[in-house]
Amino acid sequence: MAISEKLNVCKTEEQVESVFGEFKISEPKKKNKELLKCMGNPKVFRTYGNPTNWEQEYCFTLKIFLLQKWRVNELFDKLGF
């Protein structure tokens, strides 16, 4: 099973970290890239502040991923909107 398929079913931070451990991904920059890819590479707009390092960027992306709101775009794509 591909990493994106495994990440796609994760609902908790522990599950996400377990998948990254299974694929031996420990660098925040790589984790961030995989989460964004799983979410369809959304454009992210911040209303204030920018992360100053990859650990902060990954934490921010992880929170977005765990909210699961990105799945709405996935559904719209399937419906042709």
Residue 71 phi/psi, 5° resolution? -65, -25
Domain residue limits, the chain? 3-79
3-27 pLDDT per residue, tens: 999 999 999 999 999 999 999 999 9
Q: Which of 37-41, 60-64, 73-77 has the lowest mean pLDDT?
A: 73-77
Confidence at residue 32, expressed as pLDDT on a 0 to 100 scale:
96
Statement: residue 33 has pLDDT above 90: yes
Residue 48: partners with Cβ closer than 8 Å, 6 or more residues away: none
Residue 50 phi/psi, 5° resolution? -130, 140
Return mean pLDDT, the chain.
88
Provide the pLDDT confidence category of residue 48 given band limits of 50, 70 and 90: low
